[in-house]
Structure 1
Amino acid sequence: MTLPSLLSLPVLNLPSFEPQLQRENDKYFIFDSLRKKFLALTPEEWVRQHWINFLIEHQGYPKGLISLEKGLKYNQLQKRTDLVVFDRTGHPYLLIECKAPEIELNQNVLQQALAYRSTLLTSFVILSNGIKHISLEFEKSQKKFIQTPNFPPSP
């Protein structure tokens, strides 16, 4: 199913692709190739599925190293990350925090991602609303994140 004109999803600043869509009554669903099931098509899911496609089809990341909505505990609360990529030794490598396109990438979004990162200890963090992306790399010698224009290489 192609995107119907009724469904106005924004064009993202990520490579486009032809997702599998389903419509049930007035709700749309998008196929998640990693979980192998249809999920409610929300603006945030639209961004997440574009990132999955980008990582696998354009960056050569192996499907088996990508985890969606990984559960973790932070301050006694159960939280879920959007996307985590593991390196080939099984260690968390890249955390991607996805937001809906209309959500501004601000200090609150950064704090949320860094809270997740404090448990996962990834080397890279990306904040994205699908239109704007902020890529951060942890600089071990300085013990802080620096913004980088480069996308992390495949682990």
Structure 2
Amino acid sequence: MQNLNLPTYNFKLKNSENKTLIFDSIRKKYLVLTPEEWVRQHFVKYLIDQKKYPTTLIALEKQLIINNRKKRTDILIFDANGTPNIIVECKAPSIKITQDTFDQIARYNLKLKANYLIVTNGLKHFYCKMDFENETYIFLENIPDYK
């Protein structure tokens, strides 16, 4: 798999039926290792190891209904009260991050009302703080560490 613009981590990998699987420490199971999953697993480890977010506050591929359609957030981080705080949208490294990517995460946030949005393809990361009053977001250099 491709090197990312994130710290290097040691993941549990195994092969099954000609596919490489990666162990997801949040969901406690092996998943098919796609380029997007590679980014998701790295970003989750970054949030836990570098930003100190507790694993108990992180949900992966959380389902939500928007306009009667099932959607899934890649990574959703709750605050200590169980309120959505950060939504992370992960793309494969080969996928360019465009306005469409931001529109996608903004649609999710109409329902979730998280304080922070992150879009990453593992190579580029965009961090935003919501400004609900002005219905926009403010780009940040990084997201805050867990408090």
TM-score greater than 0.5 by the shorter chain: yes
Per-residue deviation, 1:142:
2.8
Match of 2:141, SS state, is: coil
Give the conservation status (yes or no) of the 8 Å contact 1:66–1:86: yes
Residue type at the aligned position of 1:148: L
CA distance in 2, matches of 1:127, 1:42: 18
CA distance in 1, matches of 2:45, 2:115: 21
Match for 1:77 among 54, 69, 73?
69
2:15 paired with 1:31: no
Match of 1:47, SS state, is: helix
TM-score between both structures, scaled by the size of structure 1: 0.91
TM-score between both structures, scaled by the size of structure 2: 0.96
Identity across aligned pairs (percent)? 41
Per-residue deviation, 1:58:
1.3
| Unmatched runs of 5 consecutive residues or more in structure 1 | 1-8
Partner of 1:122: 114
Match of 2:30, SS state, is: strand
2:37 paired with 1:45: yes
Match for 2:90 among 90, 98, 102?
98
CA distance in 2, matches of 1:123, 1:49: 22
CA distance in 2, matches of 1:25, 1:90: 39
Which digits, 9 at most, give the CA deviation of each residue in 1:86-138, with x for residues without a partner? Answer: 00011000000000000000011111111111111000000000000011111
CA distance in 2, matches of 1:140, 1:113: 15
Match of 2:106, SS state, is: helix
Which digits, 9 at most, give the CA deviation of each residue in 1:6-41, with x for residues without a partner? Answer: xxx111011110100001132100000001100000
Match for 1:67 among 32, 38, 59?
59
Distance 1:153-1:140 versus aligned 2 partners, 3 A rule: farther
